Chain A
Amino acid sequence: MEFFSNLFGPTWPLVWTLAKIVAIVLPIMGCVAYLTLAERKVIGFMQVRLGPNRVTFFGIRWLGGLAQPIADALKLLTKEIIIPSGANKVLFLMAPVLSLMPALAAWAVIPFDPELVLANVDAGLLYVMAITSMGVYGVIIAGWASNSKYAFLGCLRSAAQIVSYEIAMGFALVGVLMMSHSLNLVEIVKQQQGGLGALSWNFIPLFPMFIVYLISGVAETNRAPFDVAEGESEIVAGFHVEYSGMAFAVFFLAEYANMILVSTLTAVMFLGGWLSPVPFLPDGFPWLVGKVGFVLFLFLWFRATFPRYRYDQIMRLGWKVFIPVTLVWLMVIGGWMQTPYWPWK
């Protein structure tokens, strides 16, 4: 460490931060690649079939399917990016980047461990909300710049849906804020550390908000059953219908990176982050991985289980069910906290 800091001189803080960013982004990209494989395998097993099982490393039989994401990436990299006639070229190429950027930038404040966080900022929760709210621009710009009816319909649906569900999500996070008295994500996890293990995590006092946040997370990431922005059966592929090759792959990356991000946020805010569920086992990073994996499995399970919502039903669920539920529960815990019968300290 000393050697490197002498080597780079005054630019050392910059180099060190960049190294940390790479150390966070590269594993996320690996997770994204293998999440696509996990999704195909899990849904395959749920539908009593095998899923991808052919592509192996070096022809080793029992690794069947494990090289599938790498083969897919290579295929997409070598394909041509077709720019439709009449498309707005600059915005058309900028849109995938705009949708991937927030999915990666939000990781700056996610705590993996009490010490392991890139930027331990005070307004971490606000930062996450602000950054994730920018993700919709990728979808909107892609839909508009493609100069195509289906893409445009998809982008309008997505814009209305994401703005609606963000409100419910925001109210759910106000509940977390009331529990922890802090916007700092490290503090939010530390506050959930009671003597009771899993019983002192936020998901018990904030149970309705936990459910609302989980479902809104599925809606925010445009995943089934809320994937009307893509809607293969009605508007072909929605906002990314005109995209091919790597430009399409970046949208794909963004969707899966967003899934991992929302799962991690759920784990950090409602499921106790790196904390151990039982008091006699030590806390640590593996618990966070397990919780994120569980929430991700729920995402895949939802996709294999539920049929796609109709658009008016999505809007009704967001505005007329989730927002009132969160508002009422805010009142309930706000009042409950003032009484002496509040069991969480």
Chain B
Amino acid sequence: MVSLNAVLLISFLLFSIGIIGVLIRRNALVILMCVELMLNAANLNFIAFARHSGSVSGQAFALLVMGFAAAEVAVGLALVVALYRKRDTVQVDDINLLKG
């Protein structure tokens, strides 16, 4: 049986990599991928706790999170494509339409 601490450590590190990616990258696509990575780290925690608390709820909820992530990717990528049509760039620091 996999120890809970190992899962928590791996998922914490995955989440940290995701946060670092969101903070330091400029490409909007890579930022979206990092968000996906963070959602997956959370899923890993759900499944680990489901495994160790003896309830199937965690797995059911991880499935819901997965569907939610798919919806988020669809909308996010549509936004990126629309933005590219308008501004010809996907670099987030070139996007300052709302800056006064």
Chains A and B bind each other: no
By a beta-carbon cutoff of 8 Å, the part of chain B in contact with chain A is none
